[in-house]
A and B are shown apart, each in its own frame.
Chain A
Amino acid sequence: MSTSIENLKTFDPFADTGDDDSQPTNYIHIRIQQRNGRKTLTTVQGLPQEYDQKRILRALKKDFACNGTIVKDEELGEVIQLQGDQRVKVMEFLSTQLNILKKNIKIHGF
């Protein structure tokens, strides 16, 4: 009788399921900063290393019709800077073109 309890063997509830939020640390942060007047600056921090930042920047610049640069920060690595408030558009771009989950993108600012 006791051997017939099959479902105890097949499923280990403590095993790693693989789809847990074990790596929520590498969020992509999209921030906005106010400049003088009504001008703003959008920064994208924490893009995954496997993407070529230069190519992303080029695509972003073309798509949003704005200028931008890559800034190298000591701690945070490469950060993309774009002119103007491009937060939502960047988010859309990242989720559609690069298949980055929206829950891993954090938009900051007002």
Chain B
Amino acid sequence: MASLEEVTPTVDESLEFDPSLKKKKKKPKAVSFDEAADLDDSAPKNASADPAVDELTDMFANLKKKKKKSTSTASLEPEEGSPAPDTGAEENVEDFDFSTKKKKKKKAAVDVSEFEQQLEEAGVVETNEDDDTFEKDGEEDAEDGEEEEASWLNSDREYTYEELLHRFFKILRTNNPELAGERGQRYKIPPPSVMREGNKKTIFANLKDISDRMHRPYEHVMQFLFAELGTSGSVDGNARLVIKGRFQQKQLENVLRRYIMEYVTCKTCKSISTHLSKENRLYFLVCESCGSRRSVSGIKTGFQAHIGKRKRLPG
């Protein structure tokens, strides 16, 4: 849990930080939501439909590289497919030049640093090269593996565990890739977009979107949010949620993550293609991919302390 300083920073603080630290702020967001999505590994069907989510996945793929710009659309899955070029045309050229040079056993260190400078000027971070080389290595490895496999399949010797494992995963990947735990194909939920209305209210703009993605009625999500946050609120005309009190995106993310843990993911198969059914006052979570059922507790608000001015006692 966050300490008090983290929980309630002042308004001006966040406003001050926003423009300058935008890039920095973006990353933890992405990371944390990745964790949330970790729960729901095997539901690739709704993966990354909207641009924000795409961006997120993008960032996960390139998470290793610290300075990666979010605008560049490098390939999502490094293992398969050829290395995707960057968006900008001139960057593109430079990129490719560079990688070919690398292949040719780079000539001089001076050259490289020059290129790095150019790349940096062009807005491409020098870690791009790592990406390319990494991808190439991966491809080479795969080819090697194929050759090896061909050799050991026909020989009489005992197969090693590694070889069989590779073979298994290769076959699995070709036949049904969704079982092989392909990264980037996972279910993603867009981060909550949170704004402040006035001084005391928070607007949660994409509640509808998020709850649609989770296949839950937004009323249910709303109820959970209010119970957890110990506040109240309402839905305004544009289907946005207005919450009383100051909350930050990170905090709402935490609550949403808990909601997903509790009411969305199937505990058995970790899938999130589930639905809630109500049977004589009890909620059951039924998984649509594995068919398991578990009961979930209803949303209880619990004790609500009286906040605000005390009522004047009679007499």
Please report A residues at the B interface, Cβ cutoff 8 Å.
29, 31-35, 38, 40-41, 43, 45, 71, 73, 76, 79, 81, 84-85, 87-88, 107-110
A87 touches B1 (CB 8 A): yes
B307 touches A33 (CB 8 A): yes
Shortest beta-carbon distance from B113 to chain A in Å: 47
B253-310 contacts to A, CB under 8 A, are 254-255, 302-305, 307
Beyond the given pairs A79-B303, A85-B3, 17 more chain A to chain B contacts, judged by CB atoms under 8 angstroms and listed by A's residue number, are A29-B302, A29-B303, A31-B230, A31-B302, A33-B307, A34-B229, A38-B4, A40-B8, A43-B302, A43-B305, A71-B305, A76-B303, A85-B4, A88-B1, A110-B2, A110-B228, A110-B248
Shortest beta-carbon distance from A68 to chain B in Å: 11
B305 touches A81 (CB 8 A): yes
Q: Complex: how many Å from CA A40 to CA B307?
A: 10
Residue of B nearest to A44 (CB): B303
B1-49 contacts to A, CB under 8 A, are 1-4, 7-10
- B208 interfacial contact with A, CB 8 Å: no
Instruction: Say what secondary structure dominates the interface of chain B.
Output: loop
- B247 interfacial contact with A, CB 8 Å: yes
Shortest beta-carbon distance from A67 to chain B in Å: 13
- B233 interfacial contact with A, CB 8 Å: no
Please report B residues at the A interface, Cβ cutoff 8 Å.
1-4, 7-10, 227-231, 245-248, 251-252, 254-255, 302-305, 307
6 contacts between A and B (CB under 8 A): A31-B303, A32-B230, A34-B8, A81-B305, A108-B227, A109-B255
Q: Which of B3, B230, B303 contacts A109 (CB 8 A)?
A: B230
A109 touches B228 (CB 8 A): yes
Q: Complex: how many Å from CA A107 to CA B10?
A: 24
Q: Complex: how many Å from CA A85 to CA B5?
A: 10
Q: Complex: how many Å from CA A32 to CA B7?
A: 11
Q: With a CB–CB cut-off of 8 A, which chain A residues contact B254?
A: 110
Choose among B1, B2, B307 the residue with the greatest number of A CB atoms under 10 Å from its CB: B1
A108 touches B307 (CB 8 A): no
